[in-house]
Amino acid sequence: MLEWRLAVSAVLIPLLIAIFVIDHRSGESAFWLLGLCILLVWRGSYEFADLLRTRSFDPSFPLIGGCSTAVVLAAWYGQLYDAELSSLGASMTALSLSLLLVFLRSAIRYREPGRSMETVGADLLGVSYLGALIAVTVQLRWVAGAQAGYLVLASLVIGAKCGDIGGYTLGRLFGKAKLVPRLSPGKTRMGGFGALLGSSLACWVWLHFAPGYFFDGAAPCPTGWSLLYGAVIGVVGLIGDLAESLIKRDVEKKDAANLMPGFGGLLDLLDSVLYSGPVAFVLWKTLPLATW
């Protein structure tokens, strides 16, 4: 298992860094990032629809994927071309229209009681999970200015994934007391502490040393705020992992998909990042992290 995790990481991490570097050099429009987000939306929508296709649920992969793509595209349009509407306002408009389409589909397909509301709920959850969370998360590309986009985005990815690594490592080595045994038997309280510690230290290191690579002579982010930011991302990322465990546990499946050995599906890989994204956006808006 560990060997597969290392092998997959050795491919994914350089690929992600390459996309980020190319997109950073391409300018404020961030179209490389947009392409990546659309790929994530469609793969994630496929996994989500397949994951919830059980009992009386009958979610639509094309509907979830199409509506989620519209929400993400609306965020880009609002950010780049319509300052009055704003990116998040445009996304909310697209999300509202998605609600209408979800109900329209179920109304057309209605045959008998007992299925429609479960399917409506599954479709709306999918659009919110893939479309809305990604649309808000990618606002980190611009929240502190276009030049700092990948300094900020990387702080989220590094914090959330180092939280995952810290939780996995300390949980495996020292974890005994279970955190939430009914929902996720493998998670321990020591693993929760490891997630907080790993994310805090990783965010501090990144925000202390990385600003100089993005801005000439930039001062490091304040140590206290960097540690607080990392701690919050670590805790919220852990909750995001538990949130996806809730979905999988309720539909009685171990992984979202068998896409990547050692990781499961794309949703298994992104859960902590997506869940932490909106919180990171709020923190960058409110905490004095940007000193350049």
Distance CA 287, CA 117 (A): 40
pLDDT at 10: 67
| DSSP letter for each residue of 13-26 | HHHHHHHHHHHHHH
Q: Model pTM?
A: 0.92
Provide the pLDDT for residue 79.
86
As a whole number of angstroms, the distance between CA 174 and CA 183 comes to: 20
What was the pLDDT predicted at 32? 95
- Residues in contact with 153: Cβ distance below 8 Å, sequence separation at least 6, in sequence order: 20, 138, 140, 141
Helix then strand then coil, in percent of the chain rounded to 5, is: 75, 5, 20
What confidence score (pLDDT) does residue 167 get? 92
- What is the C-alpha separation between 222 and 235, in angstroms, rounded? 20
**pLDDT of res. 278:** 96
pLDDT at 2: 53
User: For residues 76 and 29, what is the distance between their CA atoms, to the nearest angstrom?
Assistant: 8
How does DSSP classify residue 139? G
Element (H, E) at 161: helix 149-174
**Mean pLDDT in consecutive groups of 10 residues from the start of the chain, 292 residues:** 63 84 90 96 96 93 97 90 72 93 94 89 96 95 92 95 92 89 90 95 96 88 96 96 93 86 85 96 93 74
Give the CA-trace dihedral at 186, 188, 190, 195, to 10 degrees. Answer: 70
What is residue 179's DSSP assignment? Answer: E
Task: Give the whole-angstrom CA distance, residue 146 versus residue 34.
Answer: 14
Residue 184 is classified by DSSP as E
Radius of gyration of the chain (CA): 19
Tokens 């171990």: give the residue: 254
Closest C-alpha to 276, from 247, 225, 242: 242
φ, ψ (nearest 5 deg) of residue 115: -130, -30
